[in-house]
Chains A and B, each alone.
Chain A
């Protein structure tokens, strides 16, 4: 009996100790430990750069946690809300307003001003601006991202297009020719068609991604949000036209109706010729090189996105995306984290990072390095970066973007009309932004009172 009691007590004590020492471990270590959350492929790749940083900074250890993009936004918010955010994190730059608005991030202007390793002028101006919120800088651009057209040059040429199409109408014609080329000769099974040698599609547009339709909207000069970014403008003619064109691609059998989660392995589909085009970002430069078989490496190419016919310009607009490095306000290792930021922002490290991941450096001077300057497939990105527009800088953007693709699934599957769905999007967006409207109104009130006008 007494033995049982002792055993019980010891077990409970152990459990309790285990819980307590979680917090105590950090203070017992002599090293500074920087917890860095990297997302997707970048999270994997950055682990290889860490040893060099640690060699240069003895006494600092970096622990990289890699988080998939699909869960990243959620995990970052939960980490902050739960009181255990990382010290440093990679954030998509559309998330900066959101995290800054809730007070999660540390303003970086004093560090930037005092730094000898980096300065605002080193970066693409539009990209640097995406990290500003309410007059302060909350992130340092790590890599830039925009979306361009990846395509199978051989399939396009066979359809009569030796070069990538430059206008929407030419693009559509090319798609029709490719899809209409009939069944693929491959006997391998495709995940998106259900039979081997099944119908071929022209372009991959995952139904759970908002980026493509938003790009089309931006190309048609839609502002996406109206009234000082407090209401939806998705049912306005500019966006409506773009959405109709987008949905038409599915309806006419040019794009398969699959979400990214259903797809499994898009690279396999691409290499087997079941899809010939894909609007995606620079990380796929690395992935294509890694995952497509060697004999196909000469058959794929990139090009800037085509523009609407009446735009009179080429290329069409694309997203000013990318990721930034941001330090969390609750971190106790801000200095060490900043040193890591400076390390990752060094031009030669940026070039190396490009070589490892395909992600494009945010630092302009790195573009002149031979690796990048000589990369024919990266040229499309360089050209596209001269034609990018930022998205509305509201904390609710992520939620709005999700609503957009969710509500467009209906028309894509032929279950609803585009017009109805867009009206629903606007209604939802108005609702999502209601709190923002209230807070802005309240701030204006307070400003008026304070100004004594």
Chain B
């Protein structure tokens, strides 16, 4: 059958591991077990109990939530602004600007994280240099626990807004001009046009972007790995994904790491469900 190869791949390489991860999270599979499987114990929900009591998890959750709830809307907001600019009647060379805005999205995250790591240097980095010209004292972006997360958020917004822009442009194009004309004839101002027509008609796209951003941003891993050496300073950039990676692939506490993975899964699922609920509640 046509479906067989594709579905088998998905089953074996994706769904089965997910189920296995659940099983793994109920054991204390660790480095000792790797040497000798007789060293595994079935521990039920103890990993989860330990996890929920671990302050590192909550720190990671807070960081990840910060990233998501600040970075997400910021990305979409910037994208919306860019989309509106592109769609504006006064815009020229739309194709060129669209390509330029999209370029950061296509680049490899690790490569740009490396670039930004140097840009954020308090002494030799261009960002603080530019800020210095404006009279702002240098900020130790990646070394100061207060600024490390904003630094990473900035990187994420820069990198991802292009993708959202393209989708929003398509969404904006789908709104019939006649609606705007009719509303303008009734004397509606710019802000009202925006609030009453643009936003509601964009809401499917916004929902889609919201869900996508939630799933993507919640797992963020490469940025702290490359830029702050794994979660510093003072765990200010520790993400849930990084926590899972460290527990699983650095210390090989795979049972514990699987529990982290599942917590990640459940939270993402929850956030997605909430977004869908909000969408349908607002009657779109």
Contacts and interface: CB of A to CB of B under 8 A. Distances in A.
Interface string A251-268: 000000011011010000
9 contacts: A77-B252, A81-B34, A190-B123, A191-B123, A194-B122, A258-B143, A399-B251, A406-B235, A409-B234
Contacts, number: 67
A70 B229 contact: yes
A310 interface: no
B233 interface: yes
Interface residues of B, number: 30
Contact of A194 (B50, B138, B252): B138
Contacts of A183: none
Contacts of A101: 31-32, 35
Given A101-B31, A208-B229, 5 more contacts: A74-B250, A102-B35, A259-B143, A262-B142, A410-B234
A291 interface: no
A101 B35 CA distance: 8
Given A77-B252, A259-B232, A261-B229, A435 B35 contact: no
Interface string B12-37: 00000000000000001011101110
A415 B143 contact: no
A76 to B, nearest CB: 11
A102 B138 contact: no
B121 interface: yes
Contact of A261 (B28, B32, B228, B251): B228
Contacts of A438: 41
The 5 closest A-B pairs by CB, nearest first: A102-B35, A261-B229, A103-B35, A262-B143, A189-B123
Contacts of A415: 234
Interface string B109-135: 000000000000111100000000000
Interface in A383-410: 395, 399, 406, 409-410
B249 interface: yes
Contacts of B142: 262
B171 interface: no
A435 B249 CA distance: 18
Interface of B: 28, 30-32, 34-36, 39, 41, 50, 121-124, 137-138, 140, 142-143, 145, 228-229, 232-235, 249-252
B31 A102 contact: yes
Nearest to B229: A261
A13 interface: no
Contacts of A191: 121-124
Interface centre among B31, B35, B41, B121 (most CB of A within 10 A): B31
A397 to B, nearest CB: 12
- By DSSP majority rule, is chain B's interface helix, strand, loop, or mixed? loop
A189 B140 CA distance: 15
A259 B229 contact: yes
Given A102-B32, A413-B234, A439 B39 contact: yes
Contacts of A104: 35
Contacts of A262: 142-143, 233
Interface in A421-453: 431, 435, 438-439
B227 to A, nearest CB: 9
A98 interface: yes
Interface residues of A, number: 33
Contacts of A299: none
B69 to A, nearest CB: 24
B50 A431 contact: yes
A439 B35 CA distance: 13
Interface in A62-108: 70, 73-74, 77-78, 80-81, 98, 101-104
A55 B99 CA distance: 57
Contacts of A399: 251
Interface string A133-148: 0000000000000000
Contact of A208 (B34, B138, B232): B232
Given A74-B250, A194-B140, A439-B39, A259 B233 contact: yes
Contact of A435 (B30, B123, B143, B234): B30
A73 B30 CA distance: 16
Interface in A219-276: 258-259, 261-262, 264
B31 A439 contact: no
A70 B228 CA distance: 13
Nearest to B227: A261
A96 to B, nearest CB: 14
Contacts of A74: 249-250
Contacts of B123: 189-191, 194
A416 to B, nearest CB: 10
Nearest to B232: A259
Nearest to B245: A74
A80 to B, nearest CB: 8
Interface string A174-214: 00000000000000011100100000000000001000000
